[in-house]
Amino acid sequence: MTLNTEQKYILPAIAAAAHLTIQVRDSLITAVEKAGREPVTIADFGSQAIICRAIQEHFPDDAIVAEESAADFLGKLSAGAQALVTGLVSDQVHQPVDENMICGWLDYGKDKTAARTWVIDPIDGTKGFIAGRHYTIAVGFLMDGVPSFGALGCPAYTPETGYIFYTEDSNVYRVPLHEEQQPAPIAASTQADAASSRGVESFESGHTDHSTLDRIRVELGTTPELVVRMDGQDKYAAVACGDAEYYLRLSPDADRKERIWDHAAGVALVQAAGGIVTDLDGKPLDFSQGKTLASNRGIIACNQTLQEQLLQAVQQAQA
Ligand code: AMP
Ligand code: MG
């Protein structure tokens, strides 16, 4: 199968980044704390460096909005941890790498403004990654502020198999990370029965308001057994491939705005798979407001048939 140019260069970078994260997870996790008490690991920096390197090489004029920074790489990691990152990245990109190159890649494209903007979360769900649960290497692409391409590396999508999910034109595919297989087309579910619909939501209660989501589900008429809690944008992947009918998210912190790198790739994926993504008020997500979804509140990603019922359930739960 011939890939579009973006996919051709980004999918191998995501696979390399995923392999780096697996290597770190299986042998040498160390987490440090960033501003805002969010954890970051050497794998977050390694993953971002690999992906931004590919963008620099093949799409040098594009802008990049990515979660990690050279300042944190230098300021938060010990010299030993920095050396681990350079070694891990060097193994994946098959060239000698030093700390300056890592810093250059981490910050590449960050001060640009361009119609073409990549939006990257090198490890979405770092808490899940550290705890051995789900996590996602998320690469989205905005064209004039609209998510138009997305790829998610999901190394722990099932306990047995990791996958890369990606859009190509208006289609969506998934391909296993570890096996030579042709990509398989996927699509969102068409299940219309709210009571038996399957949901996904954040594992961490600090990231999503589980009790409000429980109330929404009561209104929807569905049961807690039909909900799976998982980290990262694997939740969008689950909706895109029909493993779940909906993903709901509402920050427990009313003042916190969602970060675009937690959503851009997943939104492109779900939309191309035939699903729909809005905020909890049914408004389209506005990715043109900088690093946050400043004019939105919460997230509903679901198949088309359930959206109206979900919006009603959200309203009733908050009435
Ligand atoms: P998840 O794995 O889906 O729970 O989401 C992980 C993401 O949650 C991280 O990338 C953070 O950007 C984000 N996050 C951290 N704190 C909060 C919060 N208080 N509310 C919403 N999202 C948060
Ligand atoms: Mg994230």
For residue 128, which atom of ligand 1 is closest to its CA? Answer: 2
Residue 262 Cβ contacting ligand 1 at under 6 Å: yes
**What integer pLDDT is reported at residue 179 of this predicted model?**
80
**What integer pLDDT is reported at residue 31 of this predicted model?**
60
Q: Is 117 a catalytic residue?
A: no
Pairwise CA distance, residues 122 & 135, whole Å: 10
Å from CA of 133 to ligand 1 middle: 15
Q: Which ligand is nearest to the CA of 249?
A: 1
The predicted model gives 250-277 an average pLDDT of 97
Percent of the chain beyond pLDDT 90?
88
Å from CA of 292 to ligand 1 middle: 12
- pLDDT tens digits, 39-72: 678 999 999 999 999 999 999 999 999 999 999 9
Across 38-42, 90-94, 159-163, 296-300, least confident range: 38-42
Pairwise CA distance, residues 22 & 222, whole Å: 35
**What integer pLDDT is reported at residue 216 of this predicted model?**
95
- pLDDT tens digits, 188-223: 999 989 999 999 999 999 999 999 999 999 999 999
SS3 category, 288: coil
Q: Where are the alpha helices (DSSP H) in the chain?
A: 5-27, 42-58, 70-76, 79-93, 99-106, 126-131, 210-220, 234-240, 264-272, 307-318
- pLDDT tens digits, 81-140: 899 999 999 999 999 999 999 999 999 999 999 999 999 999 999 999 999 999 999 999
Q: Where are the alpha helices (DSSP H) in 94-203?
A: 99-106, 126-131
Q: Which ligand is nearest to the CA of 247?
A: 1
- pLDDT tens digits, 217-243: 999 999 999 999 999 999 999 999 999
Instruction: Please report, to the nearest 10 degrees, the dihedral formed by the alpha carbons of residues 201, 120, 116, 256 taken in order.
Output: 50
Across 36-40, 44-48, 284-288, least confident range: 36-40
**What integer pLDDT is reported at residue 57 of this predicted model?**
98
Q: Which ligand is nearest to the CA of 133?
A: 1
Pairwise CA distance, residues 62 & 143, whole Å: 10
Across 21-35, 99-113, 241-255, least confident range: 21-35
Residue 34 Cβ contacting ligand 1 at under 6 Å: no
> Residue 95 in contact with residue 62, Cβ under 8 Å?
no
312 pLDDT above the threshold of 90: yes
The predicted model gives 259-263 an average pLDDT of 98
Indicate the average pLDDT of the chain: 94
Pocket test of ligand 1: the residue of 38, 119, 124, 207 to mutate, having most ligand atoms within 8 Å of its CB, is 207
- Note residues around ion ligand 2 (Cβ under 5 angstroms): 121, 124, 262
Catalytic residue among 126, 136, 208, 222: 126
Å from CA of 244 to ligand 1 middle: 20
Å from CA of 256 to ligand 1 middle: 10
**What integer pLDDT is reported at residue 108 of this predicted model?**
98
* 133 CB-near residues (< 8 Å, 6+ apart): 125, 156, 203, 230, 231
**What integer pLDDT is reported at residue 140 of this predicted model?**
98
DSSP 194: G
The predicted model gives 252-271 an average pLDDT of 97
Tokens found for residue 196? 């038996």
**What integer pLDDT is reported at residue 32 of this predicted model?**
65
